[in-house]
């Protein structure tokens, strides 16, 4: 039996048997049929939303492929720059902005009375084994000394190299405080920005934690030009040169495998769920 309630709603009266007779219970007519289109529409929306996961993963994997090509090219350029023949230090400091890691040669003398110390640092072993540079676990400092270039008439900053903590005081390494005019080769380094969790520099205590060329230049009266002396500059009892770390992280292959793997897995699950459904029994 059908009970009409208003112009749009109708109920079916279903018989309900009990010991005292038969009662009629109202029930919404055709509710299953009405809900079927809504359920199908919801499934369709969910289907295309879930497809965004493998599509996005594929796009990110492809982006990492391009990033890896760019990084490999950058590493090759950096290696060729480091291995290039030294050139005279340019007189115009503006030119140095495009010469980071480029070997340069200068002639002049040190002013040991204005040493700066970048610390804590660990020593880079200049002995290259299988193309790798190993680091020591001993803590110490890099000794940065003003160097007056007689041919250019300017004073620059030179990272002479590593000394252990017990040798930071110049009184403990007098034999290594070279005097007189000399030829020096090193690689150009630019200023650094402070990284997270790295302490602020403390010029008053002569404790430096990163290369702030402007502040170092003000402290020593030098120009904001900085080079890392090469290993050949090392003298007995002095800092160990060749402390340039030339490294670029290249983890893009891991990211490529991760994103393409996620794309393959989610594509398989999407295909099984929406295109290979088992027929209802």
Q: Tens digits of per-residue pLDDT, 106-129? A: 999 999 999 999 999 998 876 543
Is the model's pLDDT at 261 over the cut of 80?
Answer: yes
Is the model's pLDDT at 27 over the cut of 70?
Answer: no
Q: Tell me the mean pLDDT in the region 180-204.
A: 94
Other C-beta atoms within 10 Å of 44: how many? Answer: 11
Domain ranges of the chain: 2-31, 102-233
Task: Give the pair of three-digit tokens for residue 278.
Answer: 């088992």
**Contact yes or no for 135/119 (Cβ under 8 A):** no
b/e for 64-89, b at 16 or more Cβ within 10 A? beeebeebeeeeeeeeebeeeeeeeb
Q: Spell out the long-range contacts of 65-69 with Cβ–Cβ below 8 A and sequence spacing 24 or more.
A: 65/252, 65/256, 67/252, 67/255, 68/250, 68/252, 68/253, 68/256
Q: Tell me the mean pLDDT in the region 183-203.
A: 94
What are the E-state strand segments in the chain? 2-5, 9-18, 21-28, 87-88, 103-110, 116-124, 135-149, 154-164, 182-189, 226-229
- Position 26 scores a pLDDT of 54
- Position 252 scores a pLDDT of 83
Average pLDDT of the chain to the nearest whole number: 82
- Position 23 scores a pLDDT of 52
- Position 3 scores a pLDDT of 46
Confidence at 186, pLDDT banded by 50, 70, 90: very high
Per-residue pLDDT tens for 134-166?
455 688 999 999 999 998 999 999 999 999 999
Is the model's pLDDT at 131 over the cut of 50?
Answer: no
Confidence at 20, pLDDT banded by 50, 70, 90: low
Q: What secondary structure does DSSP assign to 103-144, as a single string?
A: EEEEEEEE-GGG-EEEEEEEEE----BTTB--EEEEEEEEEE
């Amino acid at each position: 039996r059908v009970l009409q309630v208003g112009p749009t709603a109708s109920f079916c009266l279903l018989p309900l048997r009990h010991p005292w007779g038969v009662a009629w219970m109202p029930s919404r007519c055709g509710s299953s049929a009405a809900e079927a289109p809504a359920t199908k529409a919801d499934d369709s929306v969910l289907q295309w939303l879930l497809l965004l996961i493998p599509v996005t993963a594929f796009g990110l994997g492809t982006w990492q492929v391009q990033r890896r090509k760019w990084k490999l090219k950058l590493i090759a350029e950096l290696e060729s720059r480091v291995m290039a023949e030294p050139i005279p230090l340019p007189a115009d400091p503006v030119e140095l902005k495009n010469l980071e890691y480029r070997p340069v040669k200068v002639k002049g003398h040190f002013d040991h009375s204005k040493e700066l110390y970048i610390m804590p640092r660990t020593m880079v072993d200049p002995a290259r084994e299988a193309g790798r540079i190993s680091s020591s676990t001993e803590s110490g400092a890099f000794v940065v000394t003003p160097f007056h270039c007689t041919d250019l008439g300017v004073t620059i900053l030179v990272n002479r190299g590593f000394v252990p903590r017990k040798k930071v005081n110049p009184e403990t390494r007098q034999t290594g405080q070279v005097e007189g005019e000399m030829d020096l080769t090193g690689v150009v380094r630019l200023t650094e920005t402070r990284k997270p969790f790295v302490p602020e520099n403390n010029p008053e205590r002569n404790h430096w934690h990163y290369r702030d060329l402007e502040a170092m230049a003000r402290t020593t009266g030098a120009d904001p030009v900085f080079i890392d002396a090469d290993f050949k500059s090392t003298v007995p009892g002095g800092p160990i040169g060749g402390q340039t770390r030339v490294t670029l992280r290249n983890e893009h292959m891991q990211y490529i495998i991760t994103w393409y793997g996620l794309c393959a897995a989610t594509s398989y699950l999407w295909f099984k769920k929406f295109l290979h459904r088992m027929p209802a029994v």
